[in-house]
């Protein structure tokens, strides 16, 4: 009976590749100290790992497939943003409807908007189908309120196009997963080497150079990657400020920090990853406010241009006990 292979890494393949590349660069810079610490780290071992990373890059970053997926995501994003106007109008007519089979709040408008905001196209498609079913069931009521046959059919065409492109994207992503699965033994081998480098680097520099030890810490690299991806996937309508709230003393992300500006008083609370994003900023000087239990409040003056996303990480200082 054949033994089933198990994926040893708990991250997306693109994240895995970035971590592997960073450890490749770290090892190249510190090979002499590594070799002095452990004899296994010879130039030959380093060259072999570098070759593996190049092979990993060829498999993960299938240039044509990546370009196609990126274009598909971009195209769906554009269509999804256009759908917002239709959602607002249909929701208005649904709110005015009397005697419908479902209440306006149950049409699926909220789910569709969440799908658009988060770039979750599967959720958007699911919610769109829910909205379509509700429209069909209640068209006799919605029609006289303003949802004409022409407008209904135009909306159905909008969501059908999103559904079709998302289906094509999912099929391409599934094909990419199959390529990864076919190379799982190789991927696990690279992962084992990467973690060996990471663990050695952390032990080697933990006391003598804590900052360098962080460069070998996979969780730190993943945090930075995730933050960057969230920023790049944000659809910019107005100016945004996004970043990370963390403890100055420990470097740990802070959960439950309140972040707001003088243009966005509602603001938001950070989750466990410490990441924040506040939008709706005008093109002028604004103030960013951060408050977190156990830490000193912070106010930062910011100059921001219209239509940009500013990245800003904020360190918070612990309130000293009296």
Instruction: Name the percent of the chain in helix, strand, coil, to the closest 5.
Output: 60, 15, 25
- 10 Å CB burial of residue 62 (0-12, 13-18, 19+) is middle
> How far out from the chain centre does Cα 29 lie?
30
* pLDDT for the residue numbered 2: 47
Asked if 281 and 238 count as a contact pair (C-beta separation under 8 A), the reply is yes
* CA-based end-to-end distance of the chain: 67
DSSP-derived letter for residue 318 is B
Among the listed residues 13, 23, 63, the one whose alpha carbon sits nearest the alpha carbon of residue 216: 23
CA distances from 4 to 1, 177, 301 (A): 9, 16, 56
DSSP-derived letter for residue 284 is S
SS3 98: coil
* pLDDT for the residue numbered 162: 95
Regarding the domain with residue range 236-316, which homologous superfamily does it belong to in the CATH classification? Immunoglobulins (2.60.40.10)
State how far the Cα of 55 lies from the Cα of 65, in Å rounded to an integer.
16
Q: For the whole prediction, is pTM greater than 0.75? A: no
State how far the Cα of 140 lies from the Cα of 134, in Å rounded to an integer.
11
Q: Mean pLDDT of residues grouped by 10 in the chain (322 residues)?
A: 69 87 94 95 95 89 74 90 92 93 92 88 94 95 94 95 93 80 89 94 90 87 63 50 83 87 79 79 70 90 71 84 60
What's the alpha-carbon Rg for the chain, to the nearest Å? 25
Domain ranges of the chain: 1-235, 236-316
* pLDDT for the residue numbered 233: 45
* pLDDT for the residue numbered 292: 92
């Amino acid at each position: 009976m054949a033994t089933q292979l198990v994926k040893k890494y708990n991250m997306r393949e693109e994240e895995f590749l970035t971590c592997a590349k960073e450890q490749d660069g770290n090892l190249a810079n510190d090979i002499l100290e590594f070799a002095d610490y452990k004899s296994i780290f010879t130039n030959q071992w380093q060259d072999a790992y570098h070759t593996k990373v190049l092979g990993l890059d060829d498999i993960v970053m299938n240039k044509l497939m990546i370009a196609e997926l990126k274009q598909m995501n971009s195209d769906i994003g554009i269509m999804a943003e256009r759908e917002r106007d239709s959602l607002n109008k249909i929701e208005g007519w649904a709110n005015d409807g009397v005697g419908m089979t479902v209440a306006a709040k149950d049409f699926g408008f909220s789910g569709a908007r969440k799908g658009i905001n988060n770039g979750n196209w599967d959720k958007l498609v699911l919610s769109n189908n829910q909205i379509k079913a509700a429209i069909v069931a209640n068209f006799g009521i919605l029609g006289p309120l303003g949802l004409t046959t022409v407008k209904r059919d135009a909306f159905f065409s909008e969501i059908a196009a999103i559904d079709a492109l998302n289906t094509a994207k999912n099929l391409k992503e599934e094909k990419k997963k199959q390529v990864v699965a076919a190379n799982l033994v190789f991927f696990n081998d690279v992962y084992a080497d990467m973690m060996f480098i990471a663990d050695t680097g952390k032990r080697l520099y933990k006391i003598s150079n804590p900052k360098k030890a962080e460069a070998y810490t996979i969780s730190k690299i993943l945090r930075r990657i995730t933050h960057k991806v969230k920023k790049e996937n944000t659809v910019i309508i107005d100016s945004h400020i996004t970043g990370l709230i963390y403890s100055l003393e420990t470097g740990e992300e802070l959960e439950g920090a309140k972040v707001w500006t003088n243009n966005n008083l509602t603001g938001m609370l950070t989750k466990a990853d410490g990441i924040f994003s506040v939008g709706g900023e005008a093109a002028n000087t604004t103030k960013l406010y951060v408050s977190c239990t156990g830490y000193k409040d912070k106010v930062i003056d910011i100059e921001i241009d219209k239509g940009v996303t500013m990245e800003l990480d904020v360190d918070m200082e612990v309130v000293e006990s009296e």
